[in-house]
Each structure stands twice: as structure tokens, then as C-alpha cells.
Amino acid sequence: MLKAIFAISIFIFSGCFDDETPKRRECNATIFKDKNRTVDGGEGIFSSAISEEYTEEQNNLRCDFELYLEYLRTLNTEGIIDMTYPELFKPINRRMFTKFINTLLDSPEISIEKFDAEVTDVGDIIDYGEGKFTNLEYISTIKLNFVNPNLYKDDTSMRVLKSVLENKYGKENILVDKDSRTIMIKIL
């Protein structure tokens, strides 16, 4: 179970946004980012909300990342692989990685019932050597169903799993339903 959650986390964090790989799609080009900033107004420090427009490059990146998240949501293996950081396939064989993803998605143990994600911020894009980097912030929620009735069948094993996930993602971000044998994880 933890291996499956770890693998899903790797998919989420290993997206690659190469101009050649993903097919461009229409995307709203004028998105504003709202930020709260601390300001010293002479009469004390206060928080001020400001709104900035994303650059075209930030909007393109946001659109590409939303496409990647859509591939994750729809479990589109080829889309996920196409947008995965190419350097990953130097130490890991691409065919084996694809097979691994398909094995997870077709697991008789656990099924992914729901995956939602929303981009909340795209940081400044920084040139670094031959690549560009940024900090993307998003909130995602994944709901897993334990298909195998022998998996986490007793209260002790379920409590241990819940405790491990609460330590990783925060107590408020884990919801376990023992009756329906599902677990919901909110990742910030």
C-alpha cells in the first residue's frame, strides 16, 4: 500500500514540461495570482493582498501542468509517461516504468477511485544551466479503495496505515472510511 502511494506521489512530482512533448491545448492566457504580502506602512506592519498577472511563460507552464494533472486524473498512462522528466529514463527503463504504472493502475489490491488537483500558484521561472525551474503549488486529493478484502482487514492494520499517512500528510488531510474501505488523502 505504501509503495503504491509512494509511486503515485512520484508521478505527481515527476512531471516534465517540454515544449516538444506535450501537445498544446487552448488555455486561458490571462490568469492572476493573488498574494498576501507583509507591508510596513509607517504606522505598523500589516498584510496587504495584491494581484499580479502571470507571464506568458508561467501561463503556458500552468496549462501544461494542468494537462499532466488531467492525465493523472484519467489514468492516461501514455500521457503521464510523455510528460515525465526524460532524465528519469536514464536509470529506469521506460518500458519497465510504463509496465509498473499499468500494474499499479490495474492492481487487484487497490483502486484509485478519484483524483482531483488544482494549481494554486506558479512561481517565477528561473533559468538554470540548460533547464528552467519553478515552484508550482497545487492541492490534490486522491481517494483509494482497498479492493482486496484481506488488505487492511483489521482495525490495527488500518490504524497503523492511518497513523503513517497522518504523519506524512497531516492529521487533518487524511480521512479513512472503514465501512467502505476507502482512504482519502489531501496533499498540499
Cell 506602512 identifies what position? 41
3-class DSSP assignment, residue 84: strand
The answer to whether the CB of 101 falls within 8 A of the CB of 11 is yes
**What tens digit of pLDDT does each residue of 52-89 get?**
789 999 999 999 999 999 998 888 989 988 988 888 88
3-state secondary structure of 48: strand
Distance CA 106, CA 185 (A): 20
- pLDDT at position 1 is 57
Higher pLDDT, 47 or 52: 52
What residues make up the domain containing 13? 2-187
Task: Report the domain count for the chain.
Answer: 1
The pTM is what? Answer: 0.67
pLDDT of 120 above 80: yes
Query: What is the pLDDT averaged over residues 37-41?
Result: 49
Q: Is the pLDDT of residue 187 over 60?
A: yes
pLDDT at 22 (0 to 100): 44
Between CA 46 and CA 44 the distance in angstroms is 7
Residues 6+ apart with CB under 8 A from 67: 22, 25, 79, 83
Q: What single letter denotes the amino acid at residue 157?
A: S
| pLDDT(171) > 50 | yes
In this predicted model, what pLDDT tens digit does every residue of 98-110 receive, in sequence order? 898 888 888 889 9
pLDDT digit string, tens, across residues 177-186: 988 999 999 9
Length of the chain: 188
Neighbour-count burial of 35, counting CB atoms closer than 10 A to its CB (0-12 exposed, 13-18 middle, 19+ buried): exposed
CB count within 10 Å of CB 64 equals 22
pLDDT at residue 92, as a whole number: 87
- Rounded to an integer, the average pLDDT of 156-166 is 92
pLDDT 10s digits, 2-36: 555 555 555 554 444 444 444 545 666 555 555 55
Task: Determine the pLDDT at residue 17.
Answer: 46
Let me know: does 69 contact 142? Beta carbons within 8 Å: no
Could you give the residue ranges of the DSSP H alpha helices within 15-55? Answer: none
How many Å apart are CA 57 and CA 17, to the nearest integer?
11
